[in-house]
Amino acid sequence: MSEPILRVENLKKWFPVKRSIRQVLSGERTQVKAVDGISFDVQKGEIFGLVGESGCGKTTTGKLIMKLLDSTDGKMYMEGEDVTGISGDALAAHRRKVQMIFQDPYASMNPRFKILDVLMEPLVIHGVGETSQERETWAIKALEEVKLTPPDEFLSRHPHMLSGGQRQRAATARTLMLSPSIIVADEPVSMIDLSTRAEILHMMRQVQRELGLTYIYITHDLSTARYFTDRLAVMYLGRIVEMGVAGEVIDNTLHPYSKALIAAVCEPVSGRVNRIKEVPIKGEIPAATNIPQGCRFHPRCVYATQACWEQPEPELFDAGNGHMVACRRYEEILEKGDAAKTSEAEF
C-alpha cells in the first residue's frame, strides 16, 4: 500500500479536572482520558469510520485531527510530515487541507450571514481569491457540487431559511471551498430526517469520488457506517477495540463490545416467536477519569473472566486479513456464539 495520507500513532488527549482544595494540597491530579492511545492509518481516497457510544472519544479524535485541540501525547503525520506540534503558518496550511463538517449545521453557521457569506468566509480567513467575484464563482461551483441548484436561489438566503438537509449540503459546500485533502464528518446526518439521510450520504460519496477526497466519518449509527465507509474502527472509552474493513467488522464481529453495538442496532427475529433479544452488555460506561484496570471493557462484558482484569490491557492485533481486535478471548467467545446459534436453530 502507498504512504497513508494520515497516520496517527498512540494519540492521547487528557483533560485536567478542576481540583478541590484537598487535591491541591495533596498534589493529586485527575485527568479525563478522552482519547487514550489510538493508532490508525487513513489511505488517500478512503472513507474511514469511527463508531462508538457517546463519550467514547470519537469527536475529540476528529478535533485532534483538525488541530482544534492539541494532543497530550502521541504523533500525527499528514502526507508523511509530522504535524503534531505545528503552529503559525504551518497550522494554517494544515487547516486548509483538513476541513470539518460539524454535527449541527445551523450552530456552525453565523445566523446573520447569508449563504454566500458563509461559503466565502473560509476564503477570506485564509486569504484565498483575488476578488469577491472570483470567490462568488467558487461558491456557486461548490453549491452545484452538493446539488443545491440553482445556486442563485440559495446564495442570498440565511441559514434559518433552509431545511435541515439543505443546511447540511451548504455546510458540506463550505468544506469544499478550500479544496481540502481530508474532510472530518462528525455525525453529518444525525440531525437530519431519516428520509433524507441516505440522500445526503449519497451526495457526499459522489463528491468524494469526483474530487478524490478522503473522509473520516464519525458516527454512532452502524447502519450508515456499513453503507458509507470503507474501513471501520470501533472506539470504547478512548481506545480502539476493533478495526478492519467495514463489512468484515460488522458481519464477522470479534470484540464483545462491537457485538453489543450491533445487537443494539438490529436483532433479527427468528422462527415464529416475535421477541426482543437481550443486548449482550451490562451496566454503564465507566467514567473516563477512572479507567478500569486490565481490559477496560471487562466491567460490562458478559464474557469477562478474572484474567480480563488481572492481565495488562490487550493491544490491537491482527486476527487475520487485517481484521484487528483488542481481546485475548475472542476465539473462545466466537465458539460460544456459534454454539448458541446452532442450538437456537435446532429449537
Distance CA 95, CA 92 (A): 5
The burial of 312, by beta-carbon neighbours within 10 Å (0-12 exposed, 13-18 middle, 19 or more buried), is given as exposed
Quick check: 287 pLDDT over 60? yes
**DSSP of 120-162, one letter per residue?**
HHHHHHTT--SSHHHHHHHHHHHHHHTT--STHHHHT--GGGS
Set of cell numbers at residue 306: 478474572
Cβ atoms of residues 308 and 329 within 8 Å? yes
**pLDDT digit string, tens, across residues 268-277:** 444 444 444 5
Strands 182-186 and 98-101: parallel
Of 347, 206, 337, 339, residue with least CA distance to 273: 347
Domain-wise residue ranges, the chain: 6-237
**Band of residue 108 on the pLDDT scale cut at 50, 70, 90:** confident
Helical segments of the chain, H only:
21-26, 58-66, 88-97, 115-125, 132-145, 152-155, 164-176, 194-211, 222-228, 246-251, 256-265, 306-310, 330-346
> How does residue 221 score in pLDDT terms, banded at 50, 70 and 90?
confident
**pLDDT higher for 278 or 306?**
306
Comparison of pLDDT for 19 and 209, the residue scoring more: 209
311-329 per-position pLDDT tens digit: 999 999 999 889 999 998 8
Q: What CATH fold (topology level) applies to the domain 6-237?
A: Rossmann fold (3.40.50)
Q: pLDDT tens digits, residue range 166-190? A: 999 999 999 999 999 999 999 988 8
The residue-averaged pLDDT of 126-131 equals 88
Determine which of 78-87, 187-196, 272-281 has the lowest per-residue pLDDT on average. Answer: 272-281
This prediction has a pTM of 0.88
pLDDT at 95: 92
Give me the pLDDT at residue 272, please.
42
pLDDT attached to residue 346:
40
Taking only Cα atoms into account, the Rg of the chain, rounded to an integer number of angstroms, comes to: 22
What local confidence, expressed as pLDDT, does residue 54 receive?
87
pLDDT tier, 154 (very low <50, low <70, confident <90, very high otherwise): very high
pLDDT computed for residue 345 by the predictor: 40
Once rounded to an integer, what is the mean pLDDT over residues 239-258?
A: 93
